[in-house]
C-alpha cells in the first residue's frame, strides 16, 4: 500500500487557453513544490487538455527529479478512451502512455460512470490535487468538490 502523503493527482478542463505558457509555468511550480514536500507519485487520468499538459510536465520534470513517477489511471482501455479524439490528440496520448511509469485501467470497458469513477479513485488515493477549474459544472467541478470533502490539499491554478 502506497502512503497517500506521497501521491498527488490532477483534474482540469479539456479546453485550455490558446496560450498555455502561464498555466504551464504555474503547473510546473506546483509539481516542484509537491516534490519538495515528498510527493513521488503523480496520478493522471489521461484526458485531453489539462491532463495531457500535466502528464507532459511530470515527464519533463523527471529529467531533474528522476525518482518521481507518472501513473496513468485510465477509466477504460486506451482505444475506448481516445475513440472520439483527433489524430494529434491520440498521438500525444499514446506517447504519454509509453513514457508513463505505470498504466492502470480501472474498467475493462467504457461505461457512463467510468470517468467519474476514475476521478474518485484518484482522489481517494491521493493527498494532493492540482487543478485547473474555470467552470462551475462538469467533471472537474465535481472532482474538486469531492477532493474538498475528502480533505485533500488543493493547488488551484
pLDDT in tens, 86-135: 999 999 999 999 999 999 999 999 999 999 999 999 999 999 999 999 98
Q: How many CB atoms lie within 10 A of CB 51?
A: 23
Q: How far is it, in rounded angstroms, from Cα 118 to Cα 106?
A: 7
Q: Quick one: cell of 109?
A: 470497458
26 has pLDDT over 80: yes
Residue 68 to residue 45: CA distance in whole angstroms:
17
Boundaries of every domain in the chain: 4-156
The structure's pTM equals: 0.94
- Write out the E strands in the chain: 7-12, 41-44, 69-74, 102-105, 128-132, 153-156
The whole-number pLDDT of residue 36 equals: 97
Beta-bridge partner residues of 73? 104
> In Å, how far from its chain's centre is CA 52?
8
What CATH class is the domain 4-156? alpha beta
9 within 8 A of 128, measured Cβ to Cβ: yes
Amino acid at each position: 500500500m502506497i502512503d497517500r502523503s506521497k501521491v498527488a493527482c490532477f483534474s482540469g478542463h479539456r479546453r485550455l487557453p490558446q496560450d498555455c505558457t502561464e498555466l504551464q509555468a504555474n503547473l510546473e511550480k506546483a509539481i516542484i513544490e509537491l516534490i519538495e514536500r515528498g510527493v513521488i507519485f503523480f496520478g493522471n487520468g489521461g484526458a485531453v487538455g489539462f491532463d495531457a499538459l500535466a502528464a507532459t510536465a511530470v515527464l519533463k520534470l523527471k529529467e531533474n527529479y528522476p525518482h518521481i513517477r507518472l501513473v496513468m489511471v485510465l477509466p477504460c482501455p486506451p482505444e475506448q478512451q481516445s475513440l472520439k479524439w483527433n489524430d494529434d490528440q491520440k498521438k500525444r496520448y499514446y506517447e504519454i502512455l509509453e513514457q508513463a511509469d505505470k498504466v492502470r485501467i480501472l474498467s475493462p470497458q467504457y461505461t457512463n460512470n467510468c470517468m467519474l469513477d476514475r476521478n474518485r479513485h484518484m482522489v481517494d488515493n491521493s493527498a494532493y490535487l492540482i487543478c485547473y477549474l474555470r467552470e462551475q459544472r462538469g467533471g472537474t467541478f465535481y472532482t474538486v468538490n469531492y477532493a474538498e470533502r475528502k480533505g485533500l490539499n488543493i493547488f488551484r491554478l
